[in-house]
Amino acid sequence: MCSVLCILSLSGRLHETDHKDLVPLLPRLGDTPSCLVFSKDKYGVGALRVEPQRIVFNSDLPVRLRPYRISPVEEQEIKSQVEKLLQAGLIKESNSPYSSSVTLAFKRDEGKKNRLCIDFRKLNALCKSDSEPLPLMDSLLDKLSKAKIFSSLHLASGYWHVPIHPKDTEKLAFFTNFSLYDWCRLSFGIKVAPAIFNRLIRGILTKYKIDFACNYFDDIIVYASSQLEHWKHLKKFLKYVKTKTLN
């Protein structure tokens, strides 16, 4: 699901009538969950309609790390976030032989230490590399060179849209002071996560012949040479998001 829609015109601004034309294209946040395009928060994500993804490792020997020492305040923050992840179905309780440590990192835009991070360094050392080419900025700029109006959409909590194969969820297990959990979706911190995610988004744009949009990881730009053409492109793209690519 998308979290941001920003429209930019090379003419410097959009007319009021143009904004009115846009409004009917945007699903209301009050719509039923199956019709949502824009998420209410970072946990309100959909799922890409793709095969559950495999993460290949060079060894089947379980990785087990010791827990990090955390303060009572940090423990409460972790507990709160874990509960939200459970409610959203992004993680599940586990009895996995694997376990990676969890900690909190400083989040600059919020000015506090509340970014949930899993230390997958030891697991990543066993993870088979993925040579999926990452987006080149110069190539993206070439595609956009003749466009005059753009819409930028951000795929909220991008990795969390990617389902993980049941055989691999236990390998992504992490533990807290109160329980052990498996990731059911692709987690931040996994070495091959950028490659898996980019391949899927690029594949979706190609599969549905969306030649008026390009992505740079979880940011997608819809573009056109005129406002009328752009509204058509944007409407078509949002329709695909609702009916073909996300649950």
Task: Please report, for the chain, the start and end positions of each structural domain, with discontinuous segments joined by +.
Answer: 6-246
pLDDT for the residue numbered 52: 96
Contact predicate 75/152, CB 8 Å: no
pLDDT, mean over the chain? 82
pLDDT for the residue numbered 182: 97
Give tens-digit pLDDT for 50-81. 899 999 999 989 999 988 888 999 999 999 99
pLDDT for the residue numbered 76: 93
pLDDT, greater one: 171 or 227:
171
Give tens-digit pLDDT for 104-122. 988 776 667 888 999 999 9
pLDDT for the residue numbered 119: 95
Is 203's pLDDT higher than 80? yes
Q: What is the mean pLDDT of residues 213-233?
A: 87
- Please state the φ and ψ torsions of residue 171, each to the nearest 5 degrees: -70, -20
For the record, the structure tokens of 120 come out as: 């997958």
- How buried is residue 87: exposed, middle or buried, by Cβ count under 10 Å (0-12/13-18/19+)? exposed
Q: What is the mean pLDDT of residues 166-172?
A: 96
Is 9's pLDDT higher than 60? no
For the record, the structure tokens of 224 come out as: 């056109």
Look-up of token digits 């998001």: 241
Rounded CA-CA distance 170/183 in Å is 7
pLDDT for the residue numbered 158: 87
- pTM of the predicted model as reported, rounded to 2 decimal places: 0.81
pLDDT for the residue numbered 46: 80
pLDDT for the residue numbered 16: 46
pLDDT for the residue numbered 11: 47
The one-letter code for the residue type at 3 is S
pLDDT for the residue numbered 180: 95
Nearest to 57, CA basis, from 172, 166, 149: 172
At 37, the pLDDT band (50, 70, 90 cuts) reads low
- Most confidently modeled range among 97-111, 118-132, 211-225: 118-132
Residue by residue, what is the 3-state secondary structure of 132-150? CCCCCHHHHHHHHCCCCEE
pLDDT for the residue numbered 34: 40
At 29, the pLDDT band (50, 70, 90 cuts) reads very low
Alpha helices of the chain — where are they, by DSSP H? 16-22, 72-87, 121-124, 137-144, 166-169, 193-207, 227-240
pLDDT, greater one: 244 or 102:
102
The one-letter code for the residue type at 106 is F
Least confident of 14-23, 35-44, 193-202: 14-23
Is 165's pLDDT higher than 50? yes
| Architecture (CATH level 2) of domain 6-246 | Roll (3.10)
- Please state the φ and ψ torsions of residue 100, each to the nearest 5 degrees: -115, 155
pLDDT for the residue numbered 23: 54
